[in-house]
Amino acid sequence: MSDRKARTIKVPLLARVEGEGGLEVRVREGKVASVSFRIFEPPRLFEAFLRGRDFREAPDLTARICGICPAAYQMSAVHAMEAACGVTVDGPLRELRRLLYCGEWIESHALHIYLLHAPDFLGYESAIHMAKEHGAEVERGLALKQAGNAVMSLLGGREIHPINVRVGGFYRVPAKRELAALREPLERARDQALETVRWVKAFAFPEFERDYEFVSLRHPSEYPLNEGHIVSNLGLDIPASEFEAHFTEEHVRHSNALQGVRRASAGASADPRWSTRREPGASYLVGPLARYSLNFDRLSPIAQEAAREAGLGPVCRNPFQSIVVRAIETLWAADEALRIVAAYEPPDEPAVAVEPRAGTGVGATEAPRGLLVHRYRLESDGSIAEARIVPPTSQNQRSIEQDLREFVAPRLGLDEKTLTWQCEQAVRNYDPCISCATHFLRLRFEGDDRPCRS
Amino acid sequence: MPLVIGIGREGRGDDAAGVRAARLVRALLWPQVRMTECAGEAAAVLEAWRDEEVVVLVDAMSSGAPAGSIRRLDVTGTPLPAAFFRGSTHALGLTEAVELGRSLGRLPATLILYGIEGRDFAPGGRLSYPVECAVRDAALMISEEIITRWGVHPPPAA
């Protein structure tokens, strides 16, 4: 019998996450001694790389940070630049930006639900193994993702790394009939998203809840995508420009990504629990669970109804149920996309003019994985003097570690394999996006296929 | 008529090898061959070969072989090596497309994969010299296979 007093749960390389990371949970004397969510993907130094570049280049350059959510990077970048230059983009251009974002949410959430996360709940090593017995469901996931791809292709110019977004708007806007062509695939996607909610709600979810500080955008009337104040369930309500007064990033030895934490000096809050969260380094949670729990009342009726049918209240604190929340957000995104398509009237110009000026601008938008903040300081000629990018996974790292700590403690009696599986699943609840790896084949040749030439 | 799918992206150094080779095949055999390009995202690749009988994929690879090495795999009946499924590609890529297609019964009747070993995949980079040479060789090899196996003839010289 193994010694339950001292053990280490170690996953050197996490599967079904973006980029290269691992986790390690050390147990001593029957208690969790340490938890490390390790990110060893090398830093890519984008912020330094942006210095000296023209402000108009930021959307295309930062889109390269992530292959799953390039539009999110573009949206945060353009909003930050427009804030720095004192420009507001409104009307149909604003709606088209929302539509592009809906496409990205559908694409990203469908990928995570069907191909990365569902195998955890159904006991498969990968989606490829799952597809043999759940072919119809995987086909539905692929079709749903394809609908998101169609939106991205039309508005972004291509499915991955869109090239049509610019500071002030777009390079080209679609004609009304082009957008109308999205109606049919989006209607199908809405049906498929509803089926997705009904599919995932029946999964078995571990009994686990945490008292998170949820942080997301909140808009006066919309489910948040591009705009809104940064709010939390502990009473925070600030404009995006004040983000750095309340949040900061810390370096830890086991991670090549900075960890987002609450700043000690953040101001008072109406919630008495806030006093316990004011120590330096307190974690907080961004992403679907936070967005949903802070904005349930902003979801469309069909999405609210689906959430109720799935047994979710207006607040969800079980991270394993994030798969259900993603399905509800996918349904909302398809519904919202259809609303935009139906109401669309092309703008006179594809973009508003933006003249550079010296100043600082902050853009905060809701990437599929959560709040994504960009801050740029511009010189008067429009060159970037300073850039700061705070992605959602960086903000969630400490929360991932705290989830693991609290999740593992009462489950130390489980066998190694089960506990390791559940720990990996707990990390995948976050859909962590460690990097956008360069696309290339990684092959090790075995068997009969020999090189043709080398 | 075979479909050639070039996988990869411009502006990422040798990652563009697949699309460059596919464009050359089209130039050599047009209009006897169809060609499309994909960044490599799994769902898009699966969609690209939907209802196709004969497909030739060409992509950059990183197997540890010398840069510019060219490998050909008939993946119709042979799974790609398990090492291929490393979890680092969140944007599920070509291997996942092939194996998902196999699990779902959505592989073309014939699926050939040509890989061109890359050296430098840095953003903003150009094709490295050995890969640029290999792109031409791979295009000739693919064209030759299409001509001999499927009876496609190149257009007469002008």
Contacts of A90 (CB under 8 A, 6+ apart): none
Contacts 24+ apart (CB under 8 A), A218-223: A218/A294, A218/A295, A218/A298, A219/A298, A221/A298, A222/A298, A223/A291, A223/A295, A223/A298, A223/A299, A223/A300, A223/A332, A223/A336
Q: Residue B104's closest chain A neighbor by CA?
A: A135
* DSSP one-letter string for chain B: --EEEEE--TTSGGGGHHHHHHHHHHHHHTTSSEEEEE---HHHHHHHTTT-SEEEEEEEEESSSPTT-EEEEE-SSSPPPGGGG-TT-SS--HHHHHHHHHHTT---SEEEEEEEE-S---TTPPPPHHHHHHHHHHHHHHHHHHHHHH---PPPP-
- Report d(CA A198, CA A421) in Å as an integer: 25
Contact B9 A439 (CB under 8 A): yes
Token pair for residue A415? Answer: 């066998």
Q: Where residue B60 sits, what CATH number does that domain have?
A: 3.40.50.1450
The answer to whether B133 faces chain A, any CB pair under 8 Å, is no
**Adjacent-strand bridge partners of A388:** A375
Q: Residue B95's closest chain A neighbor by CA?
A: A441
Residue A52 CB-half CA count within 13 A: 3
3-state secondary structure of A222: coil
Provide the whole-model pTM.
0.87
pLDDT mean over B90-95: 71
Contact A441 B12 (CB under 8 A): no
* Window A:232-291, CB contacts with B under 8 Å: none
Residue B137 CB-half CA count within 13 A: 17
Nearest-5° angle of CA A227, CA A370, CA A130?
135
CATH 1.10.645.10 is right for the domain spanning A88-210+310-353: yes
The answer to whether A180 faces chain B, any CB pair under 8 Å, is no
**Residue B63: which of A131, A138, A443 has the nearest Cβ?**
A443
Looking at the domain assignment, is residue B118 inside a domain?
A: yes
3-state secondary structure of A382: coil
Number of domains in chain B: 1
Looking at the domain assignment, is residue B115 inside a domain?
A: yes
Residues from chain A that touch B99, judged by Cβ atoms under 8 A, are 128
Contact B96 A127 (CB under 8 A): yes
- Structure confidence by residue, pLDDT tens digits, B99-113: 999 999 999 999 999
Q: In terms of residue numbers, what domain contains B101? A: 3-133
pLDDT tens-place values along chain A, 454 residues long = 444 567 776 766 656 556 667 778 888 888 888 888 877 665 667 888 899 999 999 999 888 777 778 899 999 999 999 999 999 999 999 999 999 999 999 999 999 999 989 999 999 988 889 999 999 999 999 999 999 989 999 999 876 678 899 999 999 999 999 999 999 999 999 999 999 999 999 999 999 999 999 999 999 999 999 999 999 999 999 999 999 999 988 887 777 777 888 886 555 455 555 555 556 678 999 999 999 999 999 999 999 999 999 999 999 999 999 999 999 999 999 999 999 999 999 999 999 999 999 999 999 999 999 999 999 999 999 999 999 999 898 899 899 999 999 998 898 888 888 888 888 888 889 887 764 322 233 333 333 333 344 3
Q: Which of A146, A56, A6 is nearest to B38 (CA)?
A: A146
Report the gap between the CA of A358 and the closest CA in chain B (Å). 28
Token pair for residue A114? Answer: 């069907």
Report ipTM (2 d.p.).
Answer: 0.80
Looking at the domain assignment, is residue B101 inside a domain?
A: yes
Domain spans in chain A, listed from the N-terminal domain onward? 1-46+397-454, 88-210+310-353
Looking at the domain assignment, is residue B142 inside a domain?
A: no
Residues from chain B that touch A446, judged by Cβ atoms under 8 A, are 81
Looking at the domain assignment, is residue B156 inside a domain?
A: no
Q: Which of A73, A439, A453 would you mutate first to test chain B, the one with the most B CBs within 10 A?
A: A439
Q: Which of B88, B121, B133 would you mutate first to test chain A, the one with the most A CBs within 10 A?
A: B88
